Structure 1
Amino acid sequence: MYKTDICILGAGPGGATAALHLANKGIPSLLIDKAAFPRDKICGDALSGKVVNELRRIAPELPELLGTQQEALPSWGIHFISPGGHKLSVPFLQNYNAAKDVPAGYISKRIYFDNFLVEQVRQRPEIELWENVEMTKYEREEDGSFILRNKQGEALVQAKLLLVANGAQSGFTRHIANLQQEPEHYCAGLRAYYKGVTGMDADNFIELHFFKDFLPGYLWVFPLPNGEANVGVGMLSSAVSKKKVNLKKEMLHMIATHPSLKQRFANAELVDDIRGFGLPLGSKKRSISGDNYMLLGDAGALIDPFTGEGISNAMISGRWAAEQAANCLQEQKFTAAFMQGYDKAVYNRLWKELRLSRHLQKLLNYPWLFDKVASKASKNEALAETISCMLNDVDLRERLKQPSFYMKLLFN
């Protein structure tokens, strides 16, 4: 049986980031994934400026190295298309026009991006990487450490500390940490790859479409290298159940008939199966640690409730998990009380952002208001810039919660 201080379950962005930060501190870890890399992951594939920042924190050269990959397309912002068809464009950078030679974000299929991170892992002697190994049973020892068993029941690992980063369907999250899926805080999604979609933005802005007949859901179109596009839909699980929505049927119907998409997809070809996935949203605070464990990324339900972005939040949680793990080893404390340092650090960084995104998500209950904001912003450059700054700056974004902001907007 392999004995280690730190075992990380899941080698996606959260787990790989944690392992790399630990390696930077000279701390060894065991990183386990049930798949062999490169492997696919159903996702929107957009890498925001926050992802670029987290790459830079791992190693300053990583963003530039990612930019040299043929599979990564530079992207400079987001187009929000309102229910009335008004476009609100939000650059990832506030000085967008002055800094276009420095991409603030990228779009890359997860099969490539996750492998990009794992390739960094392979170069680090501090990290032991096991692929094609799935742990299905977690047993407590008297000292609080975990024994991990595979499907065959073999005890393969004993670890003092578990960093759980094995995704939205994590058995550990459900059965040990007791975090259950809640339809009001869970999004159902579909993803498809198309080739030949026309009308893409010259600067590779990603698109989020909020169609009136599909609220409170949204449809996305993200450009990819080689003339491909990631196209998908997402909607709160509670709304899917309440409205009895067939997501696949609705998605194909919107692509075939909606005036803003019909011509763009006229000669487009579906190049892969339409696949479903679940998004545990960070729209409520949860306990994301306990005795001898921490939950990272999707396993800790840290996905942005408005945009569906999860990669950057997973990487942020991985960074803070590595920090907490180093503290645990130094103090030789692994109790739930001591582990609260991780919860505090993650939510100090993310909660204001997640809470405000929840408010923006609720704005979809008032499509006329969303439409009014987007309409005015599409005709008023100063207002568009103000909203862009608000969406990029968490402190400014607080104003989007205030009724006075909308009153001024509606009556000026």
Structure 2
Amino acid sequence: MTAPIPSPQYDVIIIGAGPAGCACALALRDAGLRIAVIDKHNFPRDKVCGDAIPGRAIKYLREIDAQFAGRLSAFTEKLSTRRTVCYYNNKMLDFSWSLEAYTATREHFDNFLFSGIKGLPGIDTLEGVVVQDIERTSGGYTVITKGGSRRYTCTMLIGADGINGVTARKLASREIDRKHHVAGVRAYYSGVAGMEDTCTEVYFDRKYLPGYFWVFPVKGGMVNAGMGILSDDVVKRKINVKEAFYDFISRSDVLKEKFRNAQPLGTLQGCGLPMGSRWVAMSGDHFLLAGDAASLIDPVSGDGIGNAVLSGKLAAEQVIRCFAAGDFSAAFVKRYEQELYEKAGADMRKKTMVLKTLARMPFLFNTVFTIGKNRIVKKFMK
């Protein structure tokens, strides 16, 4: 009779090796804990996204890792972002960025982050491992892989495996709410006219508000072009998002000219974006959720990476407090949610209220773009 495979025991298991999971692991590297980072993919891997790496993400990563600046300098697959131009109804707003920001394909950027944790003492990285189920134990959780072939146990579980991952569903009974979810598509193009490597572009159209279209330059003369529409609108108005992508281009004189001689590099790819326009449960006995698993995408900018890195950092700080106090209860870990709300949630709530008003009264978009040079308006848009 074959002996059962023993379950490796970890202090912390992080499911998901995107920006939230990697940030959490980096922030825990000197905590003296045994950590496993599990991801269903083998890196490098693609992720459908706008490929904008915001200044907030870089700022938090620098705070987490003293060596990050040097590694980022050596990361050659990035373009610096210094400006963003927004268009609506023949009006334009031009934003200059003070924080260090970039564009880079998620295939390259996420692999860059993941490479930074591989081989670190005390951290096991498990690629190509699909988590099928999670079971509660007296001292934490057991993570069960596809087919039940392997089991890993831990005291503290960090769910960073995205909106469709197992952790949000199993630990927080999360279901997609179309009023707080965006259906997006993205494709890469070459030959898009009039692009500047240091400038990202965002377009609004009354027909698709509060959705928008983006055109972001990435290395190699390519652009990442995409569109996001509130999922509730997609269902109610029976919108085909892929058809809407091409319709958006045809309705804009600026985009039509830019894409006149552009060549697609592959097909449109779809994605779901969990917006931070509602505050969801993201902690409990022996677990925390971070990144997209905690629905933290900014409802105005569409940025998910900045809040993902922030949540990974704050999750790590909470984990350290838990082990220091020997307390992993839901009441004790609630501090993580409170800190995250103070640093990101309150701002997203304000943005959501304004965005809902603009969506109900689209003529206000004209007002925003008319007074958009105002410092307060620009701060809100960022």
Output the TM-score relative to the length of structure 1. Answer: 0.87
Which of 114, 118, 124 is the matching residue for 1:122? 118
Which of 355, 377, 380 is the matching residue for 1:387? 377
Name the CA shift for 1:183/1:390 in 2 (closer, same or farther; >3 Å).
closer
Whether 2:188 is the aligned partner of 1:193: answer yes
Q: Hey, what's the Cα distance between the residues in 1 that align with 2:159 and 2:38? A: 10
Whether 2:106 is the aligned partner of 1:113: answer no
* Partner residue in 1 for 2:96: 91
Stretch deviating more after TM superposition (226-235 or 169-178): 169-178
Instruction: Confirm or deny: 8 A CA contact 1:256 1:265 kept in the other structure.
Output: no
* Partner residue in 2 for 1:72: 78
Q: Hey, what's the Cα distance between the residues in 2 that align with 1:244 and 1:47? A: 32
Q: Hey, what's the Cα distance between the residues in 1 that align with 2:70 and 2:263? A: 32
Q: Hey, what's the Cα distance between the residues in 2 that align with 1:49 and 1:286? A: 25
Q: Using the TM superposition, give the Cα deviation of residue 27 of structure 1 relative to its aligned residue in structure 2, in angstroms.
A: 3.0
Stretch deviating more after TM superposition (323-332 or 252-261): 252-261
* Partner residue in 1 for 2:213: 219
Which of 41, 57, 63 is the matching residue for 2:63? 57
Q: Using the TM superposition, give the Cα deviation of residue 285 of structure 1 relative to its aligned residue in structure 2, in angstroms.
A: 1.4
* Partner residue in 2 for 1:247: 241
Name the CA shift for 1:180/1:87 in 2 (closer, same or farther; >3 Å).
same
- Identity, % of aligned pairs? 35
Q: Using the TM superposition, give the Cα deviation of residue 317 of structure 1 relative to its aligned residue in structure 2, in angstroms.
A: 0.5
* Partner residue in 2 for 1:410: none
Q: Hey, what's the Cα distance between the residues in 1 that align with 2:67 and 2:232? A: 43
* Partner residue in 2 for 1:41: 47
Instruction: Confirm or deny: 8 A CA contact 2:81 2:100 kept in the other structure.
Output: yes
Q: Using the TM superposition, give the Cα deviation of residue 326 of structure 1 relative to its aligned residue in structure 2, in angstroms.
A: 0.7
Residues 206-264 of structure 1: per-residue CA shift (max 9 Å, x gap): 21111122222111111111110000110111111111111101111222452111111
Name the CA shift for 1:200/1:366 in 2 (closer, same or farther; >3 Å).
farther
Q: Hey, what's the Cα distance between the residues in 1 that align with 2:114 and 2:177? A: 32
Q: Hey, what's the Cα distance between the residues in 2 that align with 1:215 and 1:54? A: 31
Instruction: Confirm or deny: 8 A CA contact 2:275 2:298 kept in the other structure.
Output: yes
Q: Using the TM superposition, give the Cα deviation of residue 31 of structure 1 relative to its aligned residue in structure 2, in angstroms.
A: 0.6
* Partner residue in 1 for 2:174: 179
Q: Hey, what's the Cα distance between the residues in 1 that align with 2:365 and 2:117? A: 43
Q: Please give the secondary structure, in 2, of the residue aligned with 1:24.
A: coil
Q: Using the TM superposition, give the Cα deviation of residue 125 of structure 1 relative to its aligned residue in structure 2, in angstroms.
A: 1.3
Instruction: Confirm or deny: 8 A CA contact 1:67 1:74 kept in the other structure.
Output: no
Which of 81, 100, 107 is the matching residue for 1:104? 100
Instruction: Confirm or deny: 8 A CA contact 2:213 2:227 kept in the other structure.
Output: yes
* Partner residue in 1 for 2:153: 158
Name the CA shift for 1:390/1:183 in 2 (closer, same or farther; >3 Å).
closer
Which of 372, 375, 380 is the matching residue for 2:370? 375
Instruction: Confirm or deny: 8 A CA contact 2:26 2:65 kept in the other structure.
Output: no
Instruction: Confirm or deny: 8 A CA contact 1:289 1:343 kept in the other structure.
Output: yes
In structure 2, give the amino acid aligned to 1:133: V
Q: Using the TM superposition, give the Cα deviation of residue 368 of structure 1 relative to its aligned residue in structure 2, in angstroms.
A: 1.6
* Partner residue in 2 for 1:3: 9
Which of 325, 350, 355 is the matching residue for 1:361? 355
Stretch deviating more after TM superposition (231-240 or 328-337): 328-337
Q: Using the TM superposition, give the Cα deviation of residue 304 of structure 1 relative to its aligned residue in structure 2, in angstroms.
A: 0.6
Unaligned runs of 5+ residues in structure 2 are: 1-6
Supply the RMSD in Å over aligned alpha carbons. 1.7
Q: Please give the secondary structure, in 1, of the residue aligned with 2:14.
A: strand
Residues 138-171 of structure 1: per-residue CA shift (max 9 Å, x gap): 1112x14211111111342011110000011012
Residues 44-93 of structure 1: per-residue CA shift (max 9 Å, x gap): 110111011012112244245324423100001322222x1211122221
Q: Hey, what's the Cα distance between the residues in 1 that align with 2:93 and 2:67? A: 33
* Partner residue in 2 for 1:402: none
Q: Using the TM superposition, give the Cα deviation of residue 22 of structure 1 relative to its aligned residue in structure 2, in angstroms.
A: 0.3
Residues 17-52 of structure 1: per-residue CA shift (max 9 Å, x gap): 101100033333111111111111111110111011
Q: Hey, what's the Cα distance between the residues in 2 that align with 1:250 and 1:199? A: 23
